Structure 1
Amino acid sequence: MARVRNWYNQSKSAALIWFISLITFYAVFRMASKLSPRSTADLQVSNAERHRMYERMSKDLDEHGALFLKHGETSQSLSLSDLFDYKNGSVTPVLKSANPPVRANVLYMSPKYSLPISKAVREIFSPTFGKGLVIWFQNPVMYHFSMFHASHHISPVPASEKEIETETNAVKGVAEKLCPMRIVLDRVVLTSTGVLLGCWQVISGTDPVIIRSRLRNALPRAPEKQLYAPVILHTSLARIVGQPNNSSEESGSRLELKYFHELVGRLNKAIRGTEVTIFEMWYVEEYDVLALALDGKMKIRRFTFGCWKG
């Protein structure tokens, strides 16, 4: 009888240990699932959606013409005259105060990757634009991917110093759970508004859809309407402001569009397929409108990704 009782107690203890181990494993698995990047299948879905988006973007110039040569609207509902002053063949940014400051969350591209890209952009586009600069080249040490805005100039959300501190801590918490992103340049496109964009796909790591979702949860005061589609992953390389010397006189002509397509084609041939690793998120207070793009006044807080499992 004692032997049976001992066997029962041992079995009961073993079952309890097994049950506790199972619960612990399940809890760890659930936590890992929440912190891990999307599965390969999920990435494929996002990449397919990005591919369709980039296809549409690549047709924008043909469908709407070179609006930038007419000093038309550019990105974020701003006109070229809002952003640049073009005189005597040279272009300088028009820096306007953002009140309240724009609070942007961006992924940062290291100069290790941005400098070779910028060099290729300048080599292909600079010789075609005469003595003075009629193209604004993005500062390569500021190459970035816009993810989510806690406040932007279209829907401002004022914040006190304490509220900004709360936001930065929340963004830091998001960054600590992100895994480095290996990405590849899908293509370069030139939009009808004159923005030369690098459009990227994700090889591995945390997908932009998840990053934006986590930032949305971390920043509940942020504008409901954000500036970019959840899936997009793009960076500005340059903005064309003036008219190239050998462009046709008739703005928007087929010859003119063909000329720009040839330039973009040459650039794609040079840098398409470039691979980059992203492992840093910035919380940026832009005191000037589009300060990140125009080398304006800003305050940057840098957060390194904390997940290194993929």
Structure 2
Amino acid sequence: MARVRNWFNESKSAALIWFISLIIFLVIFRMASQHSNPSSSDVPDSNAERLRLYDKMSRDLDEHGPLFLKHGETSQSLLLSDLFDFKNGSVTPALKAANPPVRATVLHMTTEYSLPISKAVKDIFSPTLSEVIWFQNPEVYHFSMFHASHHIMPVPASQEEIETEVNAVETVTKKLCAMRIILDRVILTSTGVLLGCWQVISGTDPVTIRSRLRNALPHAPEKQLYAPAILHTSLARILGHPKNSSEEWDPASELKHFHELVARLNNRIRGTKATISELWYVEEYDVLALALDGKMKIRRFHMGC
């Protein structure tokens, strides 16, 4: 009987030690997982905020109409007529020097993912809009994150101050985890911008990236150009009416045509997945140089997490 009692006590002690060891292992594993990808827990909340933003943006064209047909303002308070010229049946950018240069940080999408998207956009939109559309260069598909200086609130900087910003951005990037993303939808805004709107599957969330860049760039404009959670990239910009066909275009049929083109594009590329692992510090010497193939200087940093 004593042997049985001793065996039972020893078994209880062994079980208790095993249970405590398991708890310690799970705690350490969870801490390690959070350390290796510190922003994954932010993704669900941010995805919900992005969904709300995209739903609102999707209503913009119907609520405000195609303002781009009247050569109205862009999303950054610039006139379309100041940015583009129509020459020889095509759209060309009217590049203007940015003084001082805009200093932006953007996430870059490689051509592995951008080229198929660009091809789909051109296949669908070129037949009726080739003379009035500007297609984003797929080699510089990007997601704007944070501006150290922009055209609305310029922050001049010496070359030494710029190098300090570059070093700070590089330090931030080394601690970011590559993002796995999925295309939620494509929308056309009232200002004529065709946007790819994305959600995050894993990696460091844009809200966290912008927050860290804010801390790293204390002299940056307080007012930034985009909502903290947003993750979108410009695919093209429409500047005029579609070509006439056998039927005369009226405002209602034109709007219907634009919606049909966007729906066809969504059917083709919605759900596309991509991995984003590079952040750029860009000095744009021309206004909207990234969007218009202008003069710029790019520093590339790999997300190191």
Q: TM-score of the superposition, structure 1-length normalised?
A: 0.86
Find the counterpart in structure 2 of residue 37 from structure 1.
Answer: 38
Among candidates 225, 231, 234, match of residue 233 of structure 1: 231
Q: Matched residues in 1 for 2:59 and 2:197: separation?
A: 14
Find the counterpart in structure 1 of residue 110 from structure 2.
Answer: 110
Q: Matched residues in 2 for 1:168 and 1:94: separation?
A: 29
- Unaligned 5+ residue runs, structure 1? 1-21
Given that 2:40 and 2:205 are in contact with CA atoms closer than 8 Å, whether structure 1 keeps it comes out as no
Find the counterpart in structure 2 of residue 193 from structure 1.
Answer: 191
Find the counterpart in structure 2 of residue 18 from structure 1.
Answer: none
Letter in 2 for 1:145: F
Mapping of 1:144-163 within 5 angstroms?
144-163=142-161
Deviations 1:18-71 (A, max 9, x none): xxxx9xx99xx5x9856733234x311110110111011011000000111111
Deviations 1:136-172 (A, max 9, x none): 0000001000000000000000000100000000000
Q: Matched residues in 1 for 2:104 and 2:36: separation?
A: 23
Q: Matched residues in 2 for 1:202 and 1:86: separation?
A: 38
Letter in 2 for 1:241: L
- Please give the secondary structure, in 2, of the residue aligned with 1:77: coil
- Unaligned 5+ residue runs, structure 2? 1-23
Q: CA RMSD in A?
A: 1.9
Letter in 1 for 2:264: R
Q: Matched residues in 2 for 1:105 and 1:35: separation?
A: 23
Find the counterpart in structure 2 of residue 291 from structure 1.
Answer: 289
- Please give the secondary structure, in 2, of the residue aligned with 1:261: helix
Given that 1:291 and 1:297 are in contact with CA atoms closer than 8 Å, whether structure 2 keeps it comes out as yes
Among candidates 159, 165, 168, match of residue 166 of structure 2: 168
- Please give the secondary structure, in 1, of the residue aligned with 2:76: helix
Given that 1:35 and 1:178 are in contact with CA atoms closer than 8 Å, whether structure 2 keeps it comes out as no
When residues 39 and 305 of structure 1 are mapped into structure 2, their CA distance, relative to the original with a 3 A threshold, is closer
Find the counterpart in structure 2 of residue 54 from structure 1.
Answer: 54
Q: Which range moved further: 279-288 or 68-77? A: 68-77
Q: Matched residues in 1 for 2:140 and 2:165: separation?
A: 22
Q: Matched residues in 2 for 1:220 and 1:275: separation?
A: 34
- Please give the secondary structure, in 2, of the residue aligned with 1:76: coil
Q: What is the CA distance between 1:185 and its match in structure 2?
A: 0.1
Q: How many residues align?
A: 277
- Please give the secondary structure, in 2, of the residue aligned with 1:86: strand
Percent identity over paired residues? 75
Mapping of 1:7-156 within 5 angstroms?
33=34, 36-40=37-41, 42-129=42-129, 133-156=131-154
Q: TM-score of the superposition, structure 2-length normalised?
A: 0.87
Find the counterpart in structure 2 of residue 255 from structure 1.
Answer: 253
Letter in 2 for 1:57: M
Q: What is the CA distance between 1:79 and its match in structure 2?
A: 1.1
Q: Matched residues in 1 for 2:169 and 2:36: separation?
A: 15
Given that 1:37 and 1:207 are in contact with CA atoms closer than 8 Å, whether structure 2 keeps it comes out as no
Given that 2:242 and 2:254 are in contact with CA atoms closer than 8 Å, whether structure 1 keeps it comes out as no
Letter in 2 for 1:70: K
Q: Matched residues in 2 for 1:72 and 1:53: separation?
A: 22
